[in-house]
Amino acid sequence: PTFRIKRNLYSIPIIISVICAAGLAYIASLYPEIKGTGGYFSEEDLGAWAGIINGFIFTAVAMFSAFLIIFLVKKKGIEVLKYVFGFSMGFISFFLTWMFGEIILYQIYMLFPETETLNLIYNILYFILLALYALFSIMLIYKYFTTESIFIKNFTILYVSILTGAMLGVTMPYWTTFAILIGISLWDLFAVLTKKGPIKQMIDIVAGSKDPDVEEQVKKGEVEYDTSKLEIGIGDFAFYSMLTSGALIITGNIFIMIFSAIAIIIGTGITIQGLKKNKILPGLPISIFLGIATMLISWAFVIYLI
């Protein structure tokens, strides 16, 4: 699933996803039972090693899932993607909307003095909203696969990626956050750029046969691929949002988050420039590594020089 946009507007969805995810992550971080409690192993017990192990497991699961999808496509046909992505996005949409919706509802509830009437209203609203979350998620995915509207498709991609990025940004602890981002970025390089990479295979399957003459002309610099219209993957937005949300939650400084977001936008711009000579490029490595470097440098500046 990808977000389609004109090249000169590419920064707009990134800014929207970063701001929305950071807001959700901040609200969720008010609850100690949520903040920094993610991962398979606790960093309180194993320190940085826990983060490395968590990142390795997360990346391994992503790798296995990608190759499994390729296997299913080759066995069952390209139509299987509709069911795989439909279930995945629907699952994420429902449960994360429920999670953040419950947090926001509880925050509103806490603004008023507790009474029996208020408790009754809260409980009724809780179950009404739960049903609405389910209905909304079903309709969202249904419309995504049945409509021709680019706006609805883009909204779905952005909505799911914002929820995912916010959840990862607030739940993953310090070392795990970096390990996941670095691991997934390296995996993105392999998945997109190598012949055996699952994303590369997927693009080839969907696009069909290549035109070797055009590819040879591109290599010689005689022609360039059209980059006036772009497609940015749902995973790119999710991990951009994870990095910036994590920067806000970990450092507690909104300016560090803003600097990290600017670095991500610059990195994405550099990647887009490379698309003139490459039909597809991984969207994560340059942006994520620039974002991480900017976060750490600006954080060190705040700690030691201010």
In a domain, 185, yes or no: yes
Distance CA 97, CA 135 (A): 11
Residue 115 covered by a domain: no
Residue 94 lies in a domain: no
- Give a yes or no: residue 138 inside a domain: no
Instruction: Provide the domain limits for residue 40.
Output: 2-79+156-305
What total of structural domains would you count in the chain? 1
The span from the CA of 225 to the CA of 275, in Å, is 7
Query: Is residue 88 situated within a structural domain?
Result: no
For residue 48, give both structure tokens.
């940085």
Helical ranges in the chain per DSSP H: 11-28, 43-46, 48-76, 80-109, 116-146, 150-171, 174-193, 198-207, 212-220, 234-251, 254-274, 285-305
What global pTM score does this model have?
0.88
Question: pLDDT 10s per residue in the chain (306 long)?
Answer: 788 888 888 899 999 999 999 999 999 998 888 888 888 898 888 889 999 999 999 999 999 998 898 888 888 888 888 888 999 999 999 999 999 999 999 999 998 888 899 999 999 999 999 999 999 999 999 999 998 889 999 999 999 999 999 999 999 999 999 999 999 999 999 888 888 888 777 777 766 544 454 444 444 444 344 556 788 889 999 999 999 999 999 999 999 999 999 999 999 999 888 876 666 788 899 999 999 999 999 999 988 876
Smallest CA-to-CA distance from 10 within 287, 292, 290 is with 287
